Structure 1
Amino acid sequence: MSAGRLLDFDAAADAGAGLAGGKGTTLGRLRRYGLPVPAGFVVASTAYADFFAADLHAAAKAAGHEADALAALRRRIAAKPLPAALSEALADELRRRGWETTPLAVRSSAPMEDSRRASFAGIHHSVLNVAGAAALADAVRAVWASLWTPQAVAYRTRLELPPAAAAMAVVVMPLLAARSAGVAFSCDPASGRDDRLVVSAVRGLGEALVGGLEAGEEIVVGEDCFDERIAILSRRPARQRSAIVADAAGGTRQQACADGGEILTDADALALAALVRDAANALDFAEPWFDLEWVQDDTGFHLVQARPVTARPWHTYPGLAGQHAIWTNGNTRDVVPQPVNAADWASMRRLINLYLEQGYRLAGYPLLPGAQRGALFSGRLYLNVSFIQWEGFDALGVSPQAMNALLGGHHAEIAVPTVRWRDRLRRIGRLVRYLAGVAGRRRHGRAQAAAAFADCRRWRSEDLAALPDTALGERLRSLFAHVRRQDGLQFLQGSSGGNLHTLLEAVDKEFPGEGQALVAALMAGQEASVSAQQGYDLVGLARIADAEPAVRDWLRAGAPHDPGRLPADSPFRAALAAFLDRHGHRGVYESYLRSPRWRENPAWLLSTLADLAGVDTAALAARQQAAADAAWQRLRARLPRWRLALLRKLVEGAIADGNDRELARSAFTAYSEVGRRLLLEAGRRLRERGALDAADGVFHLLPGELCAALAGTLPAAALRARIAGRAVRFAEWTAAPAPDVVIDGAAGIAETFADDSAATIDADGRVWRGVAVGTGCGEGVARLIDHPEAGHRLAPGEILVAPSTDPAWTPLFLKAGGLVMETGGYLSHGATVAREFGIPAVVNLPGIRGALADGRRVRVDGLAGRVEFLD
């Protein structure tokens, strides 16, 4: 192509919006990702810059917003010849493509057009039925001139766009012989629901629909939350008087149409919806909300434009209308601290809603259909705390302040209405329904957990290499659907705060300001959760290793650990096999499908054993019992026996809730280990075929894309392009700081980072106050640990200072003299295990790791929720 002034679509994708404009870049990306985009090319914005020399720049500046002056400028643009080199390049390109007499569509592609900030929908000009080099030159000038209409100038001014936005690339494509055409949204543009797709269709070309001259057929397609299959939910017949159609000579003409009748068959509508969803996810799986123009000819569907939905409404409860959407990672950062890739988001996206809905369904609360409580910002997982606060308040009367304490994080509270007596009665009724059904739901969840471990043990033994490609893809889809249908496990995972909330309120009422610490003491040393038991089992394994000299020396040598080299009759080898049979599905950052499991590679697990052999579990048990006894003694001194009996029931319930939550987490992790095996098998096959450089590239793919790749309907080049694009973005996410809170409001997105959070700090910066989740006081050297694999740096009795924790951190809790965590609330994993082990712990202290030097002595006061810098 000519000196960078003309770009094919592949070059446009690389060039970016500055040269190819928003439309040209997006079309290039879609074509690269294997989507059906017609052939075409882009006249780069540099050609416009060459043409729009100093004389026209001066005229544009002088014109301002004056309509007559702008009209004069447009006439000058239309009359000015193109540079000779550009005219020759356009003619050569038409000859090279055999398009000298082909009718063309010539469309605008300004740098910020079709972007998330500005759509420019209907602002700039398109020219249809352009044939020949001379007509193409005229059409290019007409598109350039549309930059200077009053509406275009006003639009740029209103959005406060920089002067560079007044530039223009031009997209040139063949004019397709359309049977039908239209616009499709990958979300519902009216409600904002992202489990809906909306298709608008007219007969012939879509210009009348896009221009608002005709009302086409509207088809709403819904997505099933379990298996993500789509189905038509509704149709609104077309009210189309005329259609723009291609005539016999390849031009266009208007043709009269009868009202009514289906324009797209059900099969075509579903095929188009699937194409739209795939295109939106290919462009941005984290925010897949796009408005796409499409054309259907005798060969099928084609995409001719894609732009982000720039003003997607927040689909919310009426009680939250007018308020901002508040997003926090104060709870999710505990177990999902790193960016999420496509495979993980496919499993999390709907599962988060199912976790958080089960308790309200049991209570009979009318949930908002299609509510989305999870989102990605900077690639990290955030929860919509506005929804969580509202549902807790509206359903059961839990105050936003109390919900924040359970969740952790420093975010605002929503505004709630005055409670009326009718509201109280409804909440009492829901609470009664919940309490009547909760025992059965918990039994159901525990049964599903047992079935999960049994099923996963059986599935792990399956020879995946023997499965045909189609069966492998279907197995992956069915696993995702199966996990989403585990309603009992979801109940255990997402509805474990009721007893704890009630217990906290009851104790804090009697001991204001001490409720958190006393409850942590009351819950210490009771029945161990699966996460705590994993720690105890690891200590037992360490003692067996320490008692076997050859194993002890082998572990301390620091060489790569291969248990297969141990003697067959080694007691440690048998104990390790038993440990991995029970806990081998766990791993470091196990919430991610991409993370290896201990069963795959136990090296990190083995590296922890040398430090754990000396852990005094008897002293730990004594400390737990002493904390619980002291707390009960205080309660007995103040409360009557009947109140004590009620509190004991609440403590038992809160402990069971926490243990069930950890059990569900373990069961879901077992399922994810199976999913990881399926994904890696698919990756192995695609790598052998040359479609992937490495098998772990599959973690950048959505299940539908992976199935299409296995079936051969997604070409290898397109597969590689999607993975490459996402890998670059994942690296950008990893390097970017994650905000503590995100506010999505009328003025756009506002982010609050931990460094300027609402952490409570004394004036001299020596005392930080957070949420007390573990009992007692501890004093020692602060050890800042960034990752559980660096846990060897933590000496027994030192204070563990972590950004967040998941079950892989549990061995460190056994050594720590106290815990300080930047994130987390009363329901976080770190809080649960700290309470069980009875160690002093304070969480929800964003920014403390930046203020605290490694090796400085601190005092952790788990009674008052204080961390004091001592030296």
Structure 2
Amino acid sequence: MNQVSTPDASADGLVLGLELIDAGMLARVGGKAANLGETTRAGLPVPPGFCLTTEAYRRAVGPAGLEDVHGALAATGDHDLAALATLAARARELILGVDVPPEIAAAVRESYAALGTDVPVAVRSSATAEDLPLASFAGQQDTYLNVVGADAVLDAVRRCWASLWTDRAVAYRATHGISPSTVALAVVVQRMVDAAVAGVLFTANPVTGRRHEAVIDASPGLGEAVVSGAVNPDHFVVDTATGAIPEWRPGDKAISIRPLPGGGTERTVLPPDSGPSLDDAQVRELAALGSTVEQHYGAPQDIEWAIDAADKLWLVQSRPITTLYPLPDPRPGLPEPDGIRVFLCFSLAQGLTRPLTPMGLAGFRLLAGSVARSAGFDLPEPRNGPAPYRQAGQRLFVDLTPVVRSSVGRVIVPRVFDIMEARSATVLRRLFADPRFAVTTRSPWRLLRHVVPVAAKGRVPETLLRALLRPEAALQRAESFGGRLRASLAVPADATASERLDHAERILGGKLFPIVPAVLPLPALGFASLAVAGKLAGAGTNSGALQAVLRGLPNNVTTEMDLALWHLATAIRAQPAAAAIFDGASPKELARQYRSGGLPAVVQSGLAGFLARYGHRAVAEIDLGMPRWSDDPTHILGVLANYLKLDDPALAPDRQFANAAREAEAQMERLVAVAGSRGGPAGRLRARLVRGALRRTRMFAGLRELPKYHIVEGLAAVRKELAAVGAELAADGRVVEADDIFFLDFAEAHRALAGASFREVVAERREAYDAELGRRRIPRVLLSDGTEPEALQAAGTGAAAGVLSGTPASAGTVTARARVILDPQGAALEPGEILVAPSTDPGWTPLFLTAGGLVMEMGGPNSHGAVVAREYGIPAVVGVPDATAIISSGQVITLDGGAGTVVPAGD
């Protein structure tokens, strides 16, 4: 392969030949060099070259005096772009002013000479936080092409070092929380390929996610024209399984970047209609090379390539494609089913965009296993969960392929998601036209044989009959369920760690799912009664008229919780000295004072009472690994501070809620009147039936939140037992700290109690978890070949007109400033602002009390956020794609909750 062997040109390894570098040397050579070294050692066609290590960078720039810049950057917020730019410019100035130390210069000259006499080279930056599996820093530092001569190479090396401190690189690191003192720069020097044609190759389709499609962009000349966006390249899509080229889109290829004799590059104008830059054989050769590289790395790759005048293909660079969503993990001990599969993200359906901790995922495997056993499914290993349960990107997915291929499933499941997460329902329905998912099951028997035993065991028919005939008794029975559940969750105070761990598994594996059939039939009956009332009332009862009955619902534990917190704020406001502490201290400091018992009595006792009842709740509360409010009340204290800013009595949430309830009761009477307007016995009977149906709607619909409320109580009890186990493991040195137990699963926790150390495992998982926290794009539906069906759908016409469209959730129109909040912990929402969020669960809803409106990227008309918004009378639109990216905090927007639209003011 004509690889030039470059010696270790310095006793302390300042320069290394690419053939001496492997992936384990990342901290020494940076991401680009580590990848090039790995591909070189794999025998792939990489141009020869060498790398100046990070030790060379540190030795060279050490005298530059960057310590003060490091400190200033660490103290500068990532939004202060002007300050970051000033500090970046200072760092570049300092580095460009240093002389390359003699030993480094000598090592570079020796290695450069080994490549040939005055050979043209590319000098590329290789940062230690670059080209990593979960974060691509590509393009943040500089590259210099067609550098000729040792002196020119040394100058380019110095400029690469300085480019570690470009404005864009500094801002990028600040945004991603990377400390300036932890980064260093290596520099790769490679023989230039005088490319006839060059470009980029993705071994998986980065737009649709399809793993069986390679995507190639190509243009004549050096690849810089494609990478920099200077041209519209030829675009090829290759089916790597068959070698077919289903798509070729010609680009204008207006210019070509070519090397100049003696160094540097020039841009030349290309004639129009120059034809494709690659023939079919070259396209397939590139795709085959990509498959080889992907197989070597075990992950899809983003590859830069070049073909020289002799038609030889060269691999210039390879790095992971960081934007692809991971495929679902294989099921332990079970073969993968044949054919393409459909996976739905259950995490998003629960209003959760963030990843779950390993113990949170393990808990859901046990809980899902409990559901499967109740339905009569075979479950060989409960800790692995049922067959449909899958994990991808540390989030919950469900294999819905049997549902999509069932005529009954196609009717029921999308309708459920219409009210839970409407866009997921839309994506699913569009899959029904795909011939790969043709219906294979038409009989309802398979469903009934699993549902009927659950309904019988949960006494669902009895519950529904009681609700119809004796609704107050049914309500009282549902409300008493919580007390019985809490009694079953208790564990003796002297229980051993092993007994606590076993008890936690028993709770998840058997005690929580019975909550669902015991309580859920009541809110289901409530919503069904609303539909029946609409049918009976007849003309004039559109969906808006019916939805108005759902405002200010009683018996909703989530709204009761929010109002309880508001009443605490009211009590605090009545004592000015107590209210004043919220102006003078941060929520974190107030939480510290609360734990030490140092808050004013009205705050200390009031918060203690609130947490005694609702402290099991949290943001992202379905994850066992998330602290409960009783563990850390910082968020609640921040919400209280926000409530205290609302001084307009007319906007008081309890008054708003009471008004909403009165309006709903009035609307109920109007519907009754409509039903009886025909007169006579039939009209009176119709009015009586409508009144009874709507009365049950008002009584039972609010119970929608109760099953999850009780399940979260159970999860909090499990978390408490796990925390005790974690404390013992930390004391024994099996893990570093007690919370590390949430980065194990149950089997591992048992092994840790038996003496195994999991310190390194936890460290690796924490790092992976922290990386996943930064992922913003989560597919609602994911196919087993990586396809994200939503990405295939054309953008709506509303978006082109500047209108964001979603699902109407709560009627009303409001124009106000938007506040984009990605995480409610510590968030500040000024009274009257429109909350724009990716999704919400009950942990978010305390923010709703002072919000002027709500926009969510996920959700349906009966998701948590929509229900609470209606009850507070807040206009809301849910299921608005990319709302948190399109809308900016402070931007004035008009939200129409009845039409389901969001419009920037003035558009």
TM-score range, shorter chain: 0.5 to 0.7
Q: Which deviations, in whole Å up to 9, do the C-alpha atoms of 1:533-583 show, x marking residues without a partner?
A: 001100110111111233212222124122366679934433322212111
Q: Distance in 2 between matches of 1:841 and 1:167?
A: 47
Match of 1:547 in 2: 574
Match of 2:393 in 1: 378
Could you tell me which of 351, 368, 391 is aligned with 2:367? 351
Q: Which moved more, 1:645-654 or 1:819-828?
A: 645-654
Does residue 590 of the first structure (1) align with residue 590 of the second (2)? no
Q: Which deviations, in whole Å up to 9, do the C-alpha atoms of 1:198-221 show, x marking residues without a partner?
A: xxxxxxxxxxxxxxxxxxxxxxxx
Q: Distance in 1 between matches of 2:559 and 2:698?
A: 12
Could you tell me which of 352, 356, 366 is aligned with 1:336? 352
Match of 1:722 in 2: 761
Could you tell me which of 556, 574, 589 is aligned with 2:605? 574
Does residue 534 of the first structure (1) align with residue 561 of the second (2)? yes
Match of 1:612 in 2: 643
C-alpha displacement of 1:759: 7.1
Match of 1:813 in 2: 848
C-alpha displacement of 1:629: 2.7
Q: Distance in 2 between matches of 1:707 and 1:327?
A: 31
Could you tell me which of 441, 450, 458 is aligned with 2:483? 450
Could you tell me which of 686, 691, 695 is aligned with 2:738? 695
C-alpha displacement of 1:507: 4.0
Match of 1:829 in 2: 864
Corresponding letter in the other structure for 2:629: W
Q: Distance in 1 between matches of 2:870 and 2:844?
A: 15
C-alpha displacement of 1:657: 5.2
1:599 match: secondary structure = coil
Match of 1:408 in 2: 422
Q: Which deviations, in whole Å up to 9, do the C-alpha atoms of 1:237-281 show, x marking residues without a partner?
A: xxxxxxxxxxxxxxxxxxxxxxxxxxxxxxxxxxxxxxxxxxxxx
Q: Which runs of 5+ in 1 are unaligned?
A: 5-14, 21-43, 55-115, 119-155, 170-283, 292-308, 315-321
Match of 1:735 in 2: 774
Q: Distance in 2 between matches of 1:776 and 1:356?
A: 42
Residues 855 and 357 of structure 1, relative CA distance in 2, 3 Å threshold: farther
1:531 match: secondary structure = helix
Does residue 476 of the first structure (1) align with residue 504 of the second (2)? yes
Residues 816 and 353 of structure 1, relative CA distance in 2, 3 Å threshold: farther
Could you tell me which of 304, 312, 319 is aligned with 2:336? 312
Corresponding letter in the other structure for 2:719: R
Q: Distance in 2 between matches of 1:675 and 1:421?
A: 40
Q: Distance in 1 between matches of 2:522 and 2:787?
A: 30
Where in structure 2 are the equivalents of 1:158-307 lying within 5 Å? 162=290, 164=292, 287-289=329-331
Residues 288 and 163 of structure 1, relative CA distance in 2, 3 Å threshold: closer
Where in structure 2 are the equivalents of 1:69-108 lying within 5 Å? none
Match of 2:77 in 1: none
Q: Distance in 1 between matches of 2:770 and 2:331?
A: 22
Match of 1:59 in 2: none
Corresponding letter in the other structure for 2:336: R
C-alpha displacement of 1:597: 1.7
Match of 2:229 in 1: none
Q: Distance in 1 between matches of 2:443 and 2:389?
A: 33
C-alpha displacement of 1:823: 0.2
Residues 469 and 587 of structure 1, relative CA distance in 2, 3 Å threshold: closer
C-alpha displacement of 1:816: 1.3
Could you tell me which of 819, 826, 834 is aligned with 1:799? 834
Where in structure 2 are the equivalents of 1:644-655 lying within 5 Å? 644-655=687-698
Residues 789 and 757 of structure 1, relative CA distance in 2, 3 Å threshold: farther
Q: Distance in 1 between matches of 2:366 and 2:696?
A: 28
Does residue 622 of the first structure (1) align with residue 659 of the second (2)? yes
Residues 373 and 620 of structure 1, relative CA distance in 2, 3 Å threshold: same
C-alpha displacement of 1:471: 2.7
C-alpha displacement of 1:159: 11
1:587 match: secondary structure = coil
Q: Which deviations, in whole Å up to 9, do the C-alpha atoms of 1:766-821 show, x marking residues without a partner?
A: 333322222333332222122212442x2222211111111122221111122111
Asked if the contact 1:330–1:407 (Cα under 8 Å) also holds between the matched residues in 2, the reply is: no
Residues 860 and 510 of structure 1, relative CA distance in 2, 3 Å threshold: farther
Match of 2:634 in 1: 603
Q: Distance in 2 between matches of 1:408 and 1:168?
A: 41
1:345 match: secondary structure = helix
Does residue 673 of the first structure (1) align with residue 716 of the second (2)? yes
| Alignment length (residue pairs) | 576
Asked if the contact 2:821–2:836 (Cα under 8 Å) also holds between the matched residues in 1, the reply is: yes
Match of 1:766 in 2: 802
Match of 1:707 in 2: 750
Q: Distance in 1 between matches of 2:481 and 2:812?
A: 37
Q: Distance in 2 between matches of 1:168 and 1:757?
A: 33
2:715 match: secondary structure = helix
1:766 match: secondary structure = coil
Match of 1:840 in 2: 875
Match of 1:850 in 2: 885
Asked if the contact 1:329–1:740 (Cα under 8 Å) also holds between the matched residues in 2, the reply is: yes
Corresponding letter in the other structure for 1:673: A
C-alpha displacement of 1:494: 9.1
Residues 288 and 355 of structure 1, relative CA distance in 2, 3 Å threshold: same
Asked if the contact 1:406–1:497 (Cα under 8 Å) also holds between the matched residues in 2, the reply is: no
Asked if the contact 1:378–1:738 (Cα under 8 Å) also holds between the matched residues in 2, the reply is: no
Asked if the contact 2:638–2:826 (Cα under 8 Å) also holds between the matched residues in 1, the reply is: no
Match of 1:246 in 2: none
Match of 1:522 in 2: 549
Residues 556 and 744 of structure 1, relative CA distance in 2, 3 Å threshold: same
Q: Distance in 1 between matches of 2:527 and 2:373?
A: 18
C-alpha displacement of 1:726: 2.4
Corresponding letter in the other structure for 2:397: Y
1:749 match: secondary structure = coil
Asked if the contact 1:343–1:701 (Cα under 8 Å) also holds between the matched residues in 2, the reply is: yes
Asked if the contact 1:800–1:817 (Cα under 8 Å) also holds between the matched residues in 2, the reply is: yes
Match of 2:898 in 1: 863
1:610 match: secondary structure = helix
Instruction: Please give the TM-score of this superposition, normalised by the length of structure 2.
Output: 0.54
Q: Which deviations, in whole Å up to 9, do the C-alpha atoms of 1:156-206 show, x marking residues without a partner?
A: 99995747469999xxxxxxxxxxxxxxxxxxxxxxxxxxxxxxxxxxxxx
1:593 match: secondary structure = coil
Could you tell me which of 815, 821, 824 is aligned with 1:788? 824
Q: Distance in 1 between matches of 2:503 and 2:895?
A: 49
Match of 1:686 in 2: 729
Q: Which runs of 5+ in 2 are unaligned?
A: 1-6, 9-18, 25-37, 49-209, 213-283, 298-325, 381-385, 433-437, 468-473, 647-651, 677-682
Corresponding letter in the other structure for 1:595: M
1:762 match: secondary structure = helix
Q: Quick one: percent identity of the two aligned structures?
A: 24
Match of 2:318 in 1: none
Q: Which deviations, in whole Å up to 9, do the C-alpha atoms of 1:305-362 show, x marking residues without a partner?
A: xxxx8x7116xxxxxxx8x64333377354432111221111112424656997xx6x
Does residue 327 of the first structure (1) align with residue 343 of the second (2)? yes
Q: Which deviations, in whole Å up to 9, do the C-alpha atoms of 1:676-696 show, x marking residues without a partner?
A: 222222222222222222222
Residues 785 and 421 of structure 1, relative CA distance in 2, 3 Å threshold: closer
Q: Distance in 2 between matches of 1:520 and 1:357?
A: 37
Residues 622 and 869 of structure 1, relative CA distance in 2, 3 Å threshold: same
C-alpha displacement of 1:606: 1.8
1:691 match: secondary structure = coil
Corresponding letter in the other structure for 1:348: F
Q: Distance in 2 between matches of 1:369 and 1:451?
A: 28
Does residue 438 of the first structure (1) align with residue 480 of the second (2)? no
Asked if the contact 1:517–1:773 (Cα under 8 Å) also holds between the matched residues in 2, the reply is: no
1:412 match: secondary structure = helix
